[in-house]
Copies of this chain bind each other. A is one copy, B any other.
Amino acid sequence: MKTILAELLTIGDEILYGQIVDTNSQWMSLELDKVGIKVIRKTSVGDQENEILTAFAEAEKRADIILITGGLGPTSDDLTKPLLAKYFNCELKINEEALAEVTDFFVSRGRELTEINRQQAALPTACIKITNPIGTAPGMWFEKNGKVFMSMPGVPHEMKKMMTERVIPKLLETFQMPVIVHQLIRTAGIGESFLAEKIAAWERALPSHLKLAYLPSLGEVKLRLTAFGEDRALLKTQIAEQIEKIKPLAGEYIYSLGEDSLEVTIGKLLKEKGLTLAIAESCTGGYVSHLITSVPGSSEYFSGSIIPYGYEIKMRQLGVKPETLEQNGAVSEPTIIEMASLVRAKFNTDIGVATSGIAGPGGATADKPVGTVWIAYSDKHHTVTKKLQLSKDRMINIRLSSAAVLNLIRLNLPK
């Protein structure tokens, strides 16, 4: 079966100048991917006639479906509609149905229909009008030589509603789609290249209709396995078989097969086991707590934190022994062990974790360079510590240390 290809075309100077972030195209990609339409290109051009017309012609050569957003407002710098009329060699004419809809939109809100609003009902005669259920600019669907051009408003909630309710169903009627199945494999605690080496033989042995992608970010590496074919159930079985094969190679690093982030995974584990958590974080300055509390419902298992940033505070608020600090310094294994068990005792939780390190750029000593971080995990059974040697960059150190603490929790929770 032929793969149906789509190009996403965004029109508007505001995207090129960086004044708005284009969140539409990521959302559209995910929706198209779900139904098996392959996005082969995303293009953004400004509000300039020749740029827009060239982009139409180039996209038509490459893709079966061209999805256009933006440039549909009522103001004079919005060029999409007249240029679509020009490209499809037809006139702009008031569409009576569209006029009734735009009139109704204004009347129902008790507002007057101005001439500018009326012009929103003027459409290229070659298009099929697609109703905008929550706005005034209609969508426009064109077909030409088996290809589809579809123009939608750039306002995210209008575009999303039109795409979900009208465009995707109409595309599924128009084209025959292959089946695509994706599987995420999320790992933590191992770098991209080390993971690649561990699973190299497995990756080489993948059948040709299964493709693997590495998606690294700070503190984790996601793998995405994609299967192309015709039989969804078969593809799912084949993916499940591959998951069983990768587990012996990278099992300890895999923390989730799906959408759950590391903090969501830990939240589920804590809830499942009925355990509570408290945190003493120094060098991470609140970021571990922020990750934990970014998960809705985290108050069920997270009791709270102390951030003993100052040296004095480590003693006075948390209770670290002065002699431990004097003999070993704040960034040391004896100190981090005390911090983790003290916060557990103070907050009366099952688990305590702690961080202490030199985030930088200041604070380094001869034997403790910037990027030296100690982390610890403590529960009633045992205490586990880990020393990290990270980067010279403060924010990277904060984020990598925080990811490492979350992974330490995951690996050491009582079975």
Contacts and interface: CB of A to CB of B under 8 A. Distances in A.
B309 A117 contact: no
Interface stretch (A191-199, A247-255, A320-328, A373-381): A191-199
B41 A109 contact: no
A197 B117 CA distance: 11
A334 interface: no
A interface, size bucket: 35 or more
Nearest to A299: B309
Contacts of A359: 293
Interface in A216-270: 216-218, 222, 224
A72 to B, nearest CB: 11
Contacts of A286: 281, 286-290, 292-293, 305, 307
A134 interface: yes
A92 interface: no
Interface stretch (A43-51, A124-132, A139-147, A170-178): A43-51
Interface stretch (A83-91, A93-101, A386-394, A407-415): A386-394
User: Chain B CB within 10 Å — which of A155, A293, A347 has the most?
Assistant: A293
Contacts of A297: 362
A73 B313 contact: no
Nearest to A369: B108
Nearest to A279: B307
B43 A41 contact: yes
A16 B129 CA distance: 28
A335 to B, nearest CB: 15
B46 A40 contact: yes
Contact of A389 (B26, B110, B290): B110
A23 to B, nearest CB: 7
Given A302-B309, A304-B308, A307-B289, A43 B40 contact: no
Given A16-B41, A19-B214, A293-B307, 8 more contacts: A13-B213, A18-B26, A75-B193, A116-B196, A157-B218, A157-B396, A279-B307, A285-B292
27 contacts: A16-B29, A16-B42, A18-B26, A18-B29, A21-B21, A40-B48, A41-B51, A43-B44, A73-B214, A73-B216, A74-B192, A75-B192, A116-B197, A157-B393, A285-B294, A286-B289, A286-B307, A289-B307, A293-B307, A294-B394, A294-B395, A299-B363, A303-B312, A304-B308, A305-B307, A307-B307, A316-B348
